[in-house]
Chains A and B, each alone.
Chain A
């Protein structure tokens, strides 16, 4: 198997000659050539959040590739030390974005994690999350019945929506469903859909994790299974459009779909991030806004939304259409966005590093005159919010849905 996708460097199919055949690590995976495509130019090092904070070259992508090359060639052994290093990565995809030789690095890091899992070397904290997903269907060991806790207070409105046949399905995601800190996002999305008169459905306890944490933990097969469970439910509901308030969930299901069915999900479903969905409603005139009291906001692009899904303009268009809101750009936005530090289970493997990365991102935001940070990823919200406490820099961090819901004109 080769590395799929049109961005794969052509050399990957030519490097049969390298003396790696006898090595077990990455053997015959189609990925063994990756470190040899690297020009070792170092461009990726300077953008890598792990490098930026640890400042040791081996933690940057070039260093990680270098180390992997040495393992392939039998110079060093694959051990816990190597594994820790490979896991000090937020899978933010910035290295892929910048790579001179177009190496699909994110795909490679994921494959390495799978290989690590096969060697039985996955760090225990990651295995704990995987186990929770396998046993409970979510990473917090809370179980399906807990997926309705966010409905408290609005049961009358939302309970009839659960399991209902509808063309629009709102996929809530584990974090938003199970973490009280994030329930505001779900409620805001509900408010927006109700106000726009959308006939929507919810999966309730039948919603499963999108599978991303299993993929990040080196278990792509498990991730696929979870995604498939969800896809089956999408069909049962008769959904055509699925709205996600977490871009990672969307991306995980989208990619799993392609792997399972060998075709693009868009052939069957319209998968939208919250901002993509809301921008449609605004363009159709389905939402009306109250004038805001001159609020300056800045937008933090979540890695997956910007780099993977190319959702960059939509949230900005939303902000621009709310009267009284002013938008200022933070440095490193759009595809050049900086990671919030929590992606890819980095917050599990090294919470301290994860929070330092978030603090740095918050520092960048703090230079702008913004009094509110807007984003569309629940994970980013959690880590940036934590950073506001650790840095004692009180600034509100909100989901785009919250911004919109709060600005809606009273009925």
Chain B
């Protein structure tokens, strides 16, 4: 395409590189000179994600830099690139918006960063039968615009919808997002998927057969197309916000609101610190925000009663509207105020939210963790809790101690029947403990489908380090901390 010509000429070295690098030459043959690169700058940018780890930590990873970046536009190209990777035993790291955290789309053994953002066609919208067929690189914004023309919507999307693409969210599992409490998770909204496996086979999977690919983080194959349910777009959204003085009251109200039969499209809870940095109209200590489809029966009276029983108060419309407006941005807003925003996401039952949050809040006092948090309802009972710490990397002990506390919180969530939310590179150590059945099934499938182990290695079913090693590390760190305290005293 003509506009990309400039990119090639930007990358003057590409031609020469192809002569020296036969793999690049092969890749170029498939996608053309404008769409494959081994340029260092390209590789650096394509190897990162929002994981806020200081650089030194990041670079411990074995081979954190991709060897090549390839942009594909067609399913056949994915297939051919995978076959080249197989031939040279190169890892394939699929990449959508690169917004998933935990190093999900970061290489661990170099290889090919496979950018699917150019596969951005909306193939078919069928309003009568209620489905849309899309390529994986379609953005949520484009999808919203096109569906709205027919009075329809997907109805579910992550709060990272400004940066993520549909294929990336599918590969991450899409368990919690706007709309999921009302319309179900991605799993319940996917009709079928087209995947390209590591042996080059192109397969359509539906129903039970599709489940392993949802939340596979690219370890089984590359999602090349998806058929998803769509629904009528509601005329408006009605947001409501409430404030509470005590964590216990907030969590009690939260559990009761979750139990109401009317399901919101958005239900968020957050502490005062998170609110302070994310919503300029900061008020109260804890905030609960809900948003309903305006067409639904909104349980105003029940909400009022639940909030009243817990000593809470209603916030004004302006605040609630602002909360809704900020749904995309609130999560990373605190980063504006600190060098490193460390975070961990856990996935737990709404009944256990208090348990985890109380423990996390305690760590603020016991371990001086600069903690803050927010949570959003995912399914009708499960919650994605994001536990954060605002850090300065110079304070290494604070960094380690916060990391240790976050590790403890994941362990606590696992004990309570939950686990980490995003798995990616960093949380794969918990897979076996938190989701043993899923782990076993995925491991079996991975061994069957990806014999060479080239598809996004070192995550979900395999890990660069082990749970026990990490556990020991934090045990020692905590012992060292106690000793240091004792000596200081």
Question: Does any Cβ of B come within 8 Å of A1's Cβ?
Answer: no
Q: Mark A348-388, 1 if CB is under 8 A from B, else 0.
A: 00101100100000000000000000000000000000000
Task: Please state if A41 and B160 are interface contacts (CB–CB under 8 Å).
Answer: yes
Task: Please state if A67 and B41 are interface contacts (CB–CB under 8 Å).
Answer: yes
Q: Which chain B residue shows the least CB distance to A19?
A: B55
- Please tell me the size bucket of the interface on A: 35 or more
Question: Does any Cβ of A come within 8 Å of B260's Cβ?
Answer: no
Complex CA gap A368/B164 in Å reads 27
- Which chain B positions have C-beta within 8 A of A98? 162
**B394 shortest CB reach to chain A, Å:** 5
Question: Does any Cβ of A come within 8 Å of B215's Cβ?
Answer: no
- CB-CB contacts below 8 Å: B319-347 with A: 328-329, 332-333, 335-339, 341
Task: Please state if B50 and A17 are interface contacts (CB–CB under 8 Å).
Answer: no
Complex CA gap A62/B338 in Å reads 18
- Which chain B positions have C-beta within 8 A of A66? 44-45, 48
- Which chain A positions have C-beta within 8 A of B163? 41-43, 45-46
Q: What is the interface of chain A mostly: helix, strand, loop, or mixed?
A: helix
- CB-CB contacts below 8 Å: A20-68 with B: 36-37, 39-43, 45-47, 53-59, 62-63, 66-67
**B75 shortest CB reach to chain A, Å:** 17
**Pick the contact of B6 from A9, A37, A352 — CB < 8 Å?**
A352
Question: Does any Cβ of B come within 8 Å of A73's Cβ?
Answer: yes
Task: Please state if A58 and B45 are interface contacts (CB–CB under 8 Å).
Answer: yes
Task: Please state if A57 and B339 are interface contacts (CB–CB under 8 Å).
Answer: no
Question: Does any Cβ of B come within 8 Å of A392's Cβ?
Answer: no
**A381 shortest CB reach to chain B, Å:** 22
Task: Please state if A56 and B6 are interface contacts (CB–CB under 8 Å).
Answer: no
- Which chain A positions have C-beta within 8 A of B115? 55, 57
**B392 shortest CB reach to chain A, Å:** 7
Q: Which chain B residue shows the least CB distance to A359?
A: B3
- CB-CB contacts below 8 Å: B22-43 with A: 37, 39-42
- Which chain B positions have C-beta within 8 A of A36? 339
- Which chain B positions have C-beta within 8 A of A88? 6, 10
Complex CA gap A270/B180 in Å reads 51
Question: Does any Cβ of A come within 8 Å of B99's Cβ?
Answer: yes
Task: Please state if B339 and A46 are interface contacts (CB–CB under 8 Å).
Answer: no
**Pick the contact of B50 from A41, A70, A102 — CB < 8 Å?**
A41
Task: Known A75-B44, A352-B2; judge A17-B336 contact (CB<8 A).
Answer: no
Q: Which chain B residue shows the least CB distance to A14?
A: B339
Complex CA gap A84/B39 in Å reads 14
- CB-CB contacts below 8 Å: A311-370 with B: 331, 350, 352-353, 356
Task: Known A42-B98, A85-B10; judge A101-B333 contact (CB<8 A).
Answer: yes
- Which chain B positions have C-beta within 8 A of A47? 162
Q: Which chain B residue shows the least CB distance to A7?
A: B336
**A125 shortest CB reach to chain B, Å:** 13
Complex CA gap A252/B159 in Å reads 36
**B167 shortest CB reach to chain A, Å:** 14
**Pick the contact of B337 from A11, A58, A81, A331 — CB < 8 Å?**
A11
Task: Known A10-B336, A41-B99; judge A356-B50 contact (CB<8 A).
Answer: no
- Which chain A positions have C-beta within 8 A of B46? 57
Question: Does any Cβ of B come within 8 Å of A100's Cβ?
Answer: yes
**Pick the contact of A100 from B41, B329, B338 — CB < 8 Å?**
B329
Complex CA gap A11/B55 in Å reads 18
Question: Does any Cβ of A come within 8 Å of B441's Cβ?
Answer: no
Q: Mark A94-105, 1 if CB is under 8 A from B, else 0.
A: 000010111000
Question: Does any Cβ of A come within 8 Å of B4's Cβ?
Answer: yes
- Name, among A18, A41, A88, the residue most crowded by chain B CB atoms within 10 Å (CB to CB): A41
- Which chain A positions have C-beta within 8 A of B394? 17
Task: Please state if B335 and A39 are interface contacts (CB–CB under 8 Å).
Answer: yes
Task: Please state if B44 and A55 are interface contacts (CB–CB under 8 Å).
Answer: no
Complex CA gap A85/B12 in Å reads 13
Query: Could you list 25 examples of A-B contacts with CB < 8 Å?
Result: A9-B337, A14-B339, A15-B339, A17-B394, A39-B335, A40-B49, A42-B97, A42-B98, A42-B99, A42-B160, A42-B162, A42-B163, A43-B162, A47-B162, A56-B69, A66-B45, A66-B48, A67-B41, A70-B44, A75-B44, A100-B335, A101-B335, A102-B336, A352-B3, A356-B2
